[in-house]
Amino acid sequence: MTKVLAKDAVKTIQAEYYANALEAKERGQLVAWVTSIAPREFLEAMDIITIYPENHAAAIAAKKNSMEMMAIAESMGYSTDICSYARTNLGYVEAGDCAAGKLPVPDLLVCCNNICNTVTKWYEILSRRLNVPLIMIDMPFSHENEINDRAIDYMVGQFKHMISQLEQITGKPFNYERFQESMELSNQASLLWKEAADFGSMHPCPFNGIDFFNYMALIVCMRGNEKAVEFFTLLRDEIAEKAARGEGYLENEKYRILWDGIPFWFNLRAMFRSLKNYDACMVGSTYPDNWVLPYDVNDLRSMAKAYTSIFINRNFDYRVKNMMRLIDKYDVDGVIFHSNRSCKAQDFAQYAMSRKITELTGVPTVVVDGDQNDPRAFSEAQYETRVQALYEMIDQRKAAASAGR
Amino acid sequence: MDTIKQILSQFEYAAHHPGQVVREWKKETGCKAIGCLPIHSSGAEELIHAAGMLPVGLWGGQTTISKASEYLQAFCCSIMKAVMEFALQGVYKNLDGYISPNTCDTMRCIPLLLRETNPEVPVIGLVLPDNRKINPGIEYLAEEFKAVGASLSEIAGKEITDEALQNSIAVFNQHKTLMHQFLILANDHLDIITPYYRHMVVKSSFFMPREKHSQLLNELITALQAKPVHQWSGKKVVVTGIMMEPYSILNMLSDFNLAVVGDDLAQGSRQFRNLVAEGDEPYMRLAQRFADFEGCATVHDPVKLRGTIIKDLVKENKADGVIVMMMKFCDPEEYDYPYIKTDLEESHIPLLHVEIEQQMDSVEQIRTRLQAFSEMLKDK
């Protein structure tokens, strides 16, 4: 029997996930639309189906259908300057269908602003448009190097408030037993995810880092569920076997690249070509790394701290140190910063970050213009020129290093 | 009339020369000044005052963007571009610190850049809660204000006592009350309080010491009250958005006989709309004010009350229409717009949406649109 490959399994699991969600909704199970790095364990505990408009929007873009959805939102008055995920989703809500399939209509919304303030605005609109309750989880931006106690107290207070909100919405007592299980599973999935990604440090790198953007769908949607643990075990083992054989994704790995930001979902091929054609491998990214969320099970303080600690909710020092850690771990030759029109929370630190990283590590960096979902903000030719410039800088640096030796 | 003109010119001077105002104040008092970034530095301002310092609003301004382009992409809002430009050019050199509220995604990055480009000047984050109405949110914000207060004390070299803070809250409450009183009274004198002067009075409050601004407001109110009510023959509008700049737009409103009779501007009534309620514990009082506040794109509101608030403003002030001054690249405002549009259209309130930036090459397009809007209102 041939073994199932992770890249095939992810497609099947995801298709099943959406199909099951639609069926479950029909049967009367509650559905929540949730932001990508919200603590979904609370919802898992209450047997609430979680659906991710961000993932769905990305899938719409991958199916080349985002322009159509965004046009609907834009015709309603939503500016082309706002997040293209939001525009895609708000357009989808009006259209009711799209190339990436239907979503079950939500009974509630759960918005965690650890990723940006944009989701707060987006979910306010959804709450009014769909006339469903919005549970807001506010994770205060951290200006300090450590997360302060008042922020943790506040988050724990909100968790407790959310538990009572969920009890009210479902009419059932909160299932602490299932909550604990979900926390355990979430930690396991997160650890497996990290173990898989850690193989990026191997020479040659056993995987194509772009694939992680596809696997990401499951760490987002199903973290805290048995199926995620199953899948990420498969993924980790598959990569481990390749690594044990010394097999690389590329035959002649020449450049090891770190990617900062969300990809251009509507043109992953451009990303793929701009790397593979130059024997460059994406060995890691700041984006999937966000879902490495280890915490102590049954400790709400630890959980709050893990979820609020992601780099986009942190100060400049943390962001720089976080990237330096990834550069060191993956032995990175160059960094591509995706200046993503949709992601101001990340963008406006990138110019300073890219200079700081080169200053502190010597590793060359480029900032490329684009967008996660809006093809109008992306020029493939311009992008490729920038990436080529990065390869030249890496060559020069390597030549200088070997000349100096 | 001369008294009124003389008072207005003092407001105008402060609005046009914030640097001068700060320098003079520092020279006179020997105390420090703290820059307050938009939008809701309220609360921190009282703390700055209680520490004997001057809060100074930093809402950008007219400048040419050059150095800031090394830090900010083209799609950053013009206010924050101007703030970074001023910071990099040394325009803020008389400021001894910054307060940076978590207003939007752009303002997740601005404090990081201010720190990175000038580590000498402390940047104090003020992280306002989204779950501001539940106890954990109110308690958190009270603690946050305490932490902000502690950082400010350090800069001032002076402890903030509860007594001093209670006193500062009273000073600010009085100022807000006077601002509110002035804005209502202004509608009886639209010939004098033109859109431009209305803005000058509001804007100067971001730079002048509050006591002095209050004193001038008092004088202005008294002088206006002595005058007969003016029967405005033009049309009346309510404006909403972040701010009403560049100045040329204000004069255009007058050119087309449009008076501003109410505002829902961030650099305007959103600052003065609600007072800090009475209470014994000053930090809890400040937190409670934020819990009670409504109607800003940057303050979490799942019910989306802004349309209703604007409709009420139209009704209370007998306005003929609403102008949305959309600050280009301001995400929160851009997200709010479609529902404001829906709400106003449902009530058959005429609405004009104009896109503005602090640094605009040309405002001629806006002139054309304002003209068309004013003519449409005349025909109604």
- A56: nearest Cα among A25, A78, A87, A24: A87
Structural domain tally of chain B? 1
Q: Is residue B159 part of a domain?
A: yes
Categorise residue A371: left if φ over 0, alpha if ψ from -120 to 50, beta otherwise.
beta
With tokens 């942190």, the residue in question is A314
Q: Is residue B317 part of a domain?
A: no
Q: Where along chain A do the CATH 3.40.50.11890 domains lie?
A: 6-178
* Global pTM value: 0.97
A173: preceding bond cis by omega (within 30 degrees): no
Query: CA of A101: how far to CAs of A28, A74, A175, B148, B264, in Å?
Result: 20, 21, 32, 48, 41
Residue A163 contacts B where some CB pair is shorter than 8 Å: no
Query: Which chain B residues touch A370 with a CB distance below 8 Å?
Result: none
- Give the tokens for residue B200: 């000058």
CA dist A79 and A82 (Å) reads 6
Q: Is residue B74 part of a domain?
A: yes
Judge whether A107 and A31 are in contact, CB under 8 Å.
yes
- Give the tokens for residue B106: 């752009």
Judge whether A266 and A379 are in contact, CB under 8 Å.
no
User: For the segment A124-170, what is each residue's pLDDT rounded down to a tens digit?
Assistant: 999 999 999 999 999 999 999 999 999 999 999 999 999 999 999 99
Residue B305 contacts A where some CB pair is shorter than 8 Å: no
Adjacent-strand bridge partners of B323: B239, B352
Residue B74 contacts A where some CB pair is shorter than 8 Å: no
Judge whether A277 and A129 are in contact, CB under 8 Å.
no
Question: Which residues of chain B carry a pLDDT beneath 50?
Answer: none
CA dist A278 and A252 (Å) reads 10
Q: Spell out the residues 6+ positions from residue B357 whose beta carbon is closer than 8 angstroms to its own.
A: B77, B78, B327, B328
The reply to whether residue B73 touches residue A134, judged by beta carbons under 8 angstroms, is: no
For A151, list phi and psi in degrees, rounded to 5. Answer: -70, -40
With tokens 């914030």, the residue in question is B18
Query: Which chain B residues touch A345 with a CB distance below 8 Å?
Result: 105-106, 108-109
The reply to whether residue A349 touches residue B301, judged by beta carbons under 8 angstroms, is: no
Min Cα separation B72/chain A (Å)? 6
Strand order in the sheet with B98-101: B54-57, B33-36, B98-101, B123-126
Q: Can you say whether the dihedral through the CA atoms of A380, A386, A387, A392 is positive or negative?
A: positive
Q: Tell whether domain A6-178 is in CATH 3.40.50.11890.
A: yes
Give A1's pLDDT tier (boundaries 50, 70, 90): very low
**pLDDT value of position A225:** 86
Decide if pLDDT at A2 tops 80: no
Q: Is residue B147 part of a domain?
A: yes
- Give the tokens for residue B122: 């402390």
DSSP state of A105: P
CA dist B77 and B126 (Å) reads 20
Range of the domain at B16: 2-164
CATH code of the domain in which B90 resides: 3.40.50.11890
CA dist B35 and B33 (Å) reads 7
Q: Is residue B234 part of a domain?
A: no
Residue B335 contacts A where some CB pair is shorter than 8 Å: yes
Min Cα separation B18/chain A (Å)? 27
Min Cα separation A378/chain B (Å)? 14
Min Cα separation A315/chain B (Å)? 6
CA dist A332 and A337 (Å) reads 13
What is the architecture of the domain spanning A180-404?
3-Layer(aba) Sandwich (3.40)
Residue A94 contacts B where some CB pair is shorter than 8 Å: no
User: Closest chain A residue to B125 measured between Cα atoms?
Assistant: A143
For A28, list phi and psi in degrees, rounded to 5. Answer: 105, 5
For A254, list phi and psi in degrees, rounded to 5. Answer: -105, -40
- Burial grade of A164 (CB within 10 A; 0-12, 13-18, 19 or more): exposed
Query: CA of A192: how far to CAs of A238, A241, A291, in Å?
Result: 12, 15, 11
DSSP A249-311: SSSS--EEEEEES---GGGHHHHHHHHHTTTEEEEEETTGGGG-----TT-HHHHHHHHH-SG
Min Cα separation A149/chain B (Å)? 10
Residue A93 contacts B where some CB pair is shorter than 8 Å: no
Lowest average pLDDT, out of A5-14, A19-28, A230-239, goes to A5-14
Decide if pLDDT at A69 tops 90: yes
CA dist A57 and B321 (Å) reads 37
- The average pLDDT across A175-190 equals 95
Query: CA of B103: how far to CAs of A124, A208, B117, in Å?
Result: 16, 38, 21
The reply to whether residue A344 touches residue B144, judged by beta carbons under 8 angstroms, is: no
Q: Where along chain A do the CATH 3.40.50.11900 domains lie?
A: 180-404
User: For the segment A161-176, what is each residue's pLDDT rounded down to a tens digit?
Assistant: 999 999 999 999 999 9
CA dist B119 and B113 (Å) reads 10
The reply to whether residue B337 touches residue A79, judged by beta carbons under 8 angstroms, is: yes
- B76: nearest Cα among B353, B331, B366: B331
Q: Is residue B146 part of a domain?
A: yes
Residue B290 contacts A where some CB pair is shorter than 8 Å: no
- The average pLDDT across A369-383 equals 97
Q: Is residue B12 part of a domain?
A: yes
User: For the segment A276-307, what is each residue's pLDDT rounded down to a tens digit?
Assistant: 999 999 999 997 788 888 899 999 999 999 99
Nearest to A117 among B104, B115, B329 (CB): B104
* Residue B256: count of CB within 10 angstroms of its CB: 17
Q: Can you say whether the dihedral through the CA atoms of B57, B61, B64, B69 is positive or negative?
A: positive
